Amino acid sequence: MIYAQLPTEGDHIGRPLPFYLAMEEWLARREGPDSYFFMWQVDPTVICGRHQDVELETDLDFCHSHDIRVVRRKSGGGCVYADRNNIMMSYITPSADVMTTFGEYTSGVASMLRSLGLDATADTSRNDVLIGGRKVSGNAFYHLPGRSIVHGTMLYDTDRAMMAGAITPSRAKMLSKGVKSVESRITTVKEHSTIGIEAFKRAVRESLCGGHTLTLTDADIEEIERMAEEYFADSWLYRRRSRSGSGRRIEGVGEIRPRIITGSDGLIERVELSGDFFAITDPETELKERLKGVAPERATIATAIEGWDASQYVAGLTTEVLATLISEAIQK
């Protein structure tokens, strides 16, 4: 694995978060068999999943009043909070099998933490890495042609009050995790180790990459900055608005809120899905092809998507459950 670094090491701290998301994409577009890894830190930011409704999942007034930026990433999953005491980690690999890559990465991070004397395990059912049974790292993934990108948090330390105020997960999500609050479920590296943050970063880099490095040029950085512009647009940040706010949490999948858009003839135009689920590929294009022009009734919906394997699009989701969710959304 090759460590991707900017010309000045300090450049990995304090740039706007969209720059690093674009840097992942830039690395993913490089040809060749190499895998890349890099770490970065940002000013206080909430990063929402691709399919989430930002207005339901975050307290925007709190974020604005506390100078916390809100950004949407292209991977699925739920919101995470990052600040300069939190280390973000990105892994880019030529493997096209995103689910296997995801498991291997979280297991590798847990192994690295154990090498530092920490009681770390990978909880692949929740896409987390734990220390002493509490979350220290949450991760997400998405797929580009021929490449997989996995990225996540590493809570070296964090401002729990800012995290709790900025992120507003649904009651169903908290109950599914078996906890009463965001703060009660997490821990930090600093709680379990005396290692300093810079020494910790050096240990992570040595463990995962050894001495293999790729230093980006000024021209590379200019290209990445151009790629990052799309993340700043309001049309991207607010692209998901559930409006009804209704949905259901599915064990092993996440929370899904279907929204059905019908035409003047009363037939389905398209179905949009919001929530913290992991999409392997975009499910909405296929759903539109199958459901466009279909009557918004349970029986006709079930018939239209019969034989379609929803789990190939949303990790862990069955076609039968999806049909039920869409039908429930119609009834509401």
The enclosing H or E element of 102 equals helix 98-115
Global pTM reads 0.82
- Greatest Cα pair distance, the chain, in angstroms, is 65
pLDDT in tens, 143-164: 888 888 999 999 999 999 999 9
Q: Which amino acid is at 25?
A: E
Residues of the chain with pLDDT under 50: 171-172, 174-180, 243-245
Q: Kindly report the number of other CB atoms within 10 A of residue 289's CB atom.
A: 11
Contacts of 55 by beta carbon, 8 Å cutoff, 6+ apart: 238, 241
Q: Which residue has the tokens 């999409």?
A: 279
CATH topology of domain 2-237: BirA Bifunctional Protein; domain 2 (3.30.930)
With contact defined as beta carbons under 8 Å apart, do 82 and 68 qualify? no
DSSP-assigned states of every residue in 29-75: TS-SS--EEEEEB-SSEEEE-TT--HHHHB-HHHHHHTT-EEEE-SS
> β-strand 128-131 against 87-93: which pairing, if any?
unpaired
CB-neighbour burial class of residue 103 (10 A; exposed 0-12, middle 13-18, buried 19+): middle
Q: Can you read off the two tokens belonging to residue 35?
A: 């895998």
The end-to-end CA distance of the chain, in Å, is 50
Sign of CA dihedral 92, 186, 134, 246: negative
CA distances from 231 to 4, 51, 125 (A): 21, 14, 29
What pLDDT is stored for residue 246 in this prediction? 60
Q: Can you read off the two tokens belonging to residue 318?
A: 């069955």
The enclosing H or E element of 226 equals helix 218-228
- Domain spans of the chain? 2-237, 248-331
Coil, strand or helix at 171: helix
248-331: CATH superfamily? CO dehydrogenase flavoprotein, C-terminal domain (3.30.390.50)
With CA atoms as reference, report the closest residue to 80 among 90, 71, 92: 71
